[in-house]
Amino acid sequence: MLTTARSLIREYNLRPKKHLGQCFLEDLNIITKIVNFVDIKEDEVVIEIGAGLGLMTELLARRAQRVIAVEIDSQLADILRRNLKNCDNVEIVMADIRKFDFLTVATGKAREKVKVVGNIPYHITSEILFHILENRSFFAEGFLLVQKEVAERLTAPPSTKDYGIPSVTFALFGQVTKCFFVPASCFYPRPKVDSALIRLSLEEKPLFEIEKVETFFSLVRAAFAERRKTLINALKHAGFLGGNVMLLKDLLISAGIDPKRRGETLSVYEYVTLTNRLMDYLVK
């Protein structure tokens, strides 16, 4: 029988730590719904980010072969060890997920059998997301609770206000989908914004053939650095091809892109095409 977040907070005289962004998901129906969405198989390993009070950890442990519960707060890590001592398949790791070595978990396990699950602290969401992206070779799927605003940005299509660097970057390696929204009332302490569960389906290699991923990222950053600028002016300002307007215009036209377009209108495939054409110019 699962206990409740507030009963555990009272029992251990806890005070949620603002500097860690602690907002505990306390709605047991939502916790169960998330675990159901993850659809864990009995031969899978789950890495849980921010195990907190362990309410979700316990449910994950009932389904997974192994659960690695990562928690940065030493007080909560002690509580997790105490409350989950009878869960032989749970390992509590006190660590900052941004420095967590996924290799230690995934060794000998096919990436298709490893999933990442977690309720992400709002103030370090981007850092965690990009750390996860960098470690995509160790797992195939992630299910994360993030700010609703972040979920909108990650899933935004071109030519929308939410479309930006995260949208393009994650789309290069896979797909981000919104599963469902979670209102602020489901958390304690109650945050000022609503959340959403997102599903990350990532591949080890880019979805499109690309000559140099680093150049792709540089182009994307330059294009979105000043959203109101046309693409040719943004690339000129960033110093691509020495800032030579004629060369840049030729580059964009050869990639099938109107130089007057803005970066926010380009699809991921167009950024890939532009990257490959730029590499052709650089080797001439």
How far is the C-alpha of 116 from the C-alpha of 64, rounded, in Å?
A: 12
Q: Are 49 and 120 in contact (CB under 8 A)?
A: yes
- The whole-number average pLDDT for the span 155-170 is 97
In terms of Cβ atoms closer than 10 Å to its own Cβ (0-12, 13-18, 19+), residue 86 is exposed
pLDDT digits over 11-62, tens only? 989 998 988 888 999 999 999 999 999 999 999 999 999 999 999 999 999 9
Could you tell me the pLDDT band of residue 106, with boundaries at 50, 70 and 90? Answer: low
Q: pLDDT digits over 141-159, tens only? A: 999 999 999 999 999 999 9
Q: Where are the domains of the chain?
A: 5-202, 213-282
What's the CA gap between 128 and 99, in Å, rounded?
9
CA 74 to chain centre: 24
Q: CATH fold of 5-202, please?
A: Rossmann fold (3.40.50)
Most confident of 3-17, 94-108, 221-235: 221-235
Q: State how far Cα 217 lies from the chain centre.
A: 17
User: Exposed, middle or buried, 85 (CB in 10 Å: 0-12/13-18/19+)?
Assistant: exposed
d(CA 118, CA 197): 9
Radius of gyration for the alpha carbons in the chain, expressed in angstroms and rounded: 22
- With beta carbons less than 8 A apart as the criterion, state whether 40 and 64 touch: yes
- Residue with the larger pLDDT of the pair 200 and 16: 200
Q: What is the mean pLDDT of residues 241-247?
A: 95
pLDDT band with cut points at 50, 70 and 90 for residue 279: very high
Domains 5-202 and 213-282 share a fold: no
In this structure, the strands spanning 195-202 and 174-182 are antiparallel
* CA dist list (Å): 123 to 17, 83, 120, 127, 128: 13, 28, 9, 9, 10
Tokens of 210: 């690309």
Give CA torsion, residues 153, 155, 157, 160, to 10 deg: -30
Neighbouring residues of 112: CB distance < 8 A, sequence distance ≥ 6 = 140
Per-residue pLDDT, 284: 64
**Is 107's pLDDT higher than 70?**
no
Q: To which H or E segment does residue 187 belong?
A: strand 187-188
Evaluate whether 195 touches 146 at the Cβ level (below 8 Å): yes
Q: What is the mean pLDDT of the chain?
A: 94
Tell me the mean pLDDT in the region 250-272. Answer: 97
Of the candidates 206, 203, 48, the residue with the CA atom closest to the CA atom of residue 137:
203
CA angle 184, 189, 191 (to 5 degrees): 40
Residue 208 in tokens:
């499109």
Rounded to an integer, the average pLDDT of 88-110 is 88
- 146, 120 contact by CB (below 8 A): yes
Note the pTM of the prediction, 2 decimals.
Answer: 0.93
Say which residue, 115 or 111, is predicted with more confidence: 115
Give, in words, the CATH class of 213-282: mainly alpha
Q: How many CA atoms lie within 13 A of 156 on its CB side?
A: 22
On the 0-12 / 13-18 / 19+ scale of CB atoms within 10 A, 29 is exposed
| Amino acid present at 128 | I
